[in-house]
Chains A and B, each alone.
Chain A
């Protein structure tokens, strides 16, 4: 059981990390979701995994599952969901602004915050994409 859970966490976080390191926003997003799942399982595992045991301490004693990590995971899932939704919206916006879902958007030759309002230079973009 523990081995199964540990390897599931490892696979999720490993493949998530790989995807996060890609240059496309969509894969990055998928990667973040996988990492999130892995981390949630990790949190659950940190409260010790017990099967078919209620999260209640009874007067009779006996085994019980730690309810706190479950509450934490629930919160983490909700927060992760909100963040993912926001990032998805941002990615769509970025796609519509730049016409590409590369994480760097359009290559921009100046370092001024406002200079890119005007048309940025497409040839540089092509060169960068060809290189990557």
Chain B
């Protein structure tokens, strides 16, 4: 198992040994601390050059760090960092299992692409773009690492307040309007989150996810019903973040109004919601106790199917590339959760594989959409990028989206839901292809509705000369190259997601590894 684990990870040449692992456990706080510290530093300097160096340097460092952590997590032992070195149920823990490690790396990659793309000039409409971006990364990493329900709430708030700032950054009317609505909606979501946390705490007396899952199993019937309601309230909040129908109607307006690098970064935010759903549904309301078995699954399935339908229809109905990509993001979230809803190991693994692919593809596509709106961008290169990006987003053969969809269809068990699943996956692919080819044709061949460039963008482009061609073309190209790498390494990745799913579906082992965390007092 150790031998196969080498194939995954950026720095896989470093053999993970127990000593490395102990070291990694102590570094576990860095993915949160590093961007947080860099954000504070970038508030102190007024030089845009230093801010940019801090931003890009931190994201690159995070790629290296999480690439190094991934093989550690793949050894199978959960790495646990206890904040303040308190004994476990008292301390707030950060825990790194395979799922968290995978998502950390994904976040770092997407963030690097987004940060690089922002150098084009999107970070210059105001002073604090870099700090907000770094804070967002800190929040996202915190959400992936934390093993504590209330800390999850705090991480959510951290990433949300950074995302409010990033969304309205530049202050065009469309951004302000969608920013206000996004903020109000998420504040209501935060209140519901707190109510859900309170309900779970009142019957279990703990917020540590591992201990929570232990105690939820022991509840008597009335308390269990109360805990179920709390858990379902949390599902509402996570579905709001993941943009599942009926909580997804905010997403197209918000993501299409944001500047392209921000929208690309936001592709990871929906995955925070997906992550929280997966974590809760495997760990706390998982499959290993009778009265709460697969609580989320039965709700997730209809929601996911409706999400795919809504997203696909929205994709067909829109005339703007950014809205199209926002709709396809909703489709991808629905598709992966439809696969995960069943609670089987194969379905979870295939869904995770598709999560990796679709996040990178969506981020690349948002950047390409931004590129297609630039007047000075070289048309031919942009159209090639758009073509490749569209193929990967729609899930057509050359790139990994196709493999993800095949895996999901194969993994689905043959029951009454199977025809629905096939319809969902294949129908949404078809509609995506139609919508993308219509947009692509209009963009690159037709003059009918040429891309509109905002006066703001135009003014900026006139003001600034051109070392930008490189800056604006490289990030989406690089993200598509990462996708190509994912396609080539698909075997290794799907093995890894398989092991991840195994680990997730054995919550009792995860629990005991977290609660009996080594490291002494």
Binding site for B on A (CB under 8 A): 20, 25, 28, 32, 35-36, 39-40, 42-43, 45-48, 66, 68-69, 72, 75-76, 79-80, 82-83, 86-87, 90-91, 93-94, 97-98, 103-106, 108, 111-118, 120
Contacts and interface: CB of A to CB of B under 8 A. Distances in A.
A25, A68, A116, most chain B CB atoms within 10 A = A116
Nearest to A35: B191
Contacts of A116: 172-174
B190 interface: yes
Nearest to A66: B205
B344 interface: no
Contacts of B456: 114, 117
A35 B188 contact: yes
Given A35-B188, A43-B194, A90 B455 contact: no
Interface string B235-274: 0000000000000000000001110000000000000000
Contact of B174 (A40, A46, A93, A114): A114
Contacts of A72: 150, 197-198, 201
Contacts of B13: none
* B interface residue count range (under 10 / 10 to 19 / 20 to 34 / 35 or more): 35 or more
B62 to A, nearest CB: 25
Specify the main secondary structure of chain B where it touches its partner. helix
B453 interface: yes
Contacts of B183: 83, 86-87, 90
Nearest to B259: A113
A2 to B, nearest CB: 13
B84 to A, nearest CB: 14
A3 to B, nearest CB: 17
When A and B form their complex, which 6 residue pairs have the shortest distance between CB atoms, in order from nearest? A114-B454, A46-B202, A105-B177, A46-B198, A43-B198, A113-B257
Contacts of A25: 180
B322 A105 contact: no
Contacts of A111: 256, 318-320, 323
Given A25-B180, A68-B201, A87-B184, A120 B157 contact: no
A32 B184 contact: yes
